[in-house]
Amino acid sequence: MTVLTTEARAKINLCLFVGPKRGDGRHEVVTLMDTLDLCDEVRMQTDPPGVVEDEVVCPGVKGSNLAAEALRAFRERTGWDGPPVRMEIDKRIPVAGGMAGGSADAAAALRLAAEASGLDDRRLLEEIAATLGADVPSQVRGGLVLATGTGSRLRPLSLTLDYSVVVVRSEEGLSAADVYAEAERLGLPRETLDLARALTRTQAALSSETILEHLHNDLQDAARSLCPAIDRALEAVLAAGADHALVSGSGPTVLGVFAGAGHRERARRVCDSLTDEGWTPEPLLSRPSGPIVRA
């Protein structure tokens, strides 16, 4: 039996612009994503004794697991007929928190399956990932990525952003589908031309390396509408000294972003102060992690 391990890193949307709904029910988006050192740990045991079919164990996650779907999709697409595997996931990324924890676990499952099977084709993994959900393809590699279409058309970026993040988790969870539906009800999605302009502005900010001054999330007001407790977290993070505060993805997790001089120390102080104020769950301090090269 061999044990393979990898990190499933949390994803944040530094910019998220939502466009019109497509015929398949998904929305066109323009989004700048980055991965953090906040991560789940994923272990795969190959040919474990007593296991007769692929098995995923993830305490704290009820119902079907996207990592199990990823294993099935990998076997079907590649024809890999290796022995059954057992996958164990230690969760640290907030569940239903807008940080793509399930998508990160699915991408990790694909990387581990590729390692176990000897496959070395990241593009194929991204194609498989696209069948699992909009956030999964970007998590195969991780790092700073500009995504368009439904989120699966990826442009990895060599730019390294220097910032720190205080992650303010919530005891509540939000379904991405519910948040998008609320965004529709509120009339938040952009027309096609406006979405194209948002892409142009984002590219310009990346070229001038001023993107950390232009953080934005079109889903923020929809998430706030469904979870009013978000407002308190946004206010607390800004009052404590964050440079920017925004909802992570579809929420309800809130991010306090720190850039510029002394951002690490300032972020640490804010994280400590919020913890002392009794925030539950306790806030987490995190940093961008860069891409994952292999499992």
pLDDT at 152 (0 to 100): 83
Buried b / exposed e across 204-217, counting CB within 10 Å, b at 16+? ebbeeeebbebbbb
pLDDT at 14 (0 to 100): 97
> Looking at 40, 54, 105, 135, which residue is catalytic?
135
Q: What is the dihedral of CA 177, 180, 186, 191, to 10 degrees?
A: -150
User: Six-digit token pair at 176?
Assistant: 């991405």
pLDDT at 203 (0 to 100): 97
Tell me whether residue 81 is one of the annotated catalytic residues: no
> Looking at 11, 34, 54, 105, which residue is catalytic?
11
pLDDT at 294 (0 to 100): 59
Q: What are the per-10-residue average pLDDT scores of the chain (295 residues)?
A: 93 97 92 96 92 89 86 97 95 92 96 95 94 92 94 91 96 94 97 98 96 97 97 96 96 96 96 94 94 69
Beta strand 145-148 with 55-57: parallel, antiparallel or unpaired? unpaired
pLDDT at 49 (0 to 100): 87
Tell me whether residue 37 is one of the annotated catalytic residues: no
Name the residue with tokens 């007593």. 50
Domains, the chain, ordered by start: 2-156 (3.30.230.10), 163-286 (3.30.70.890)
Q: What is the pTM of this model?
A: 0.91
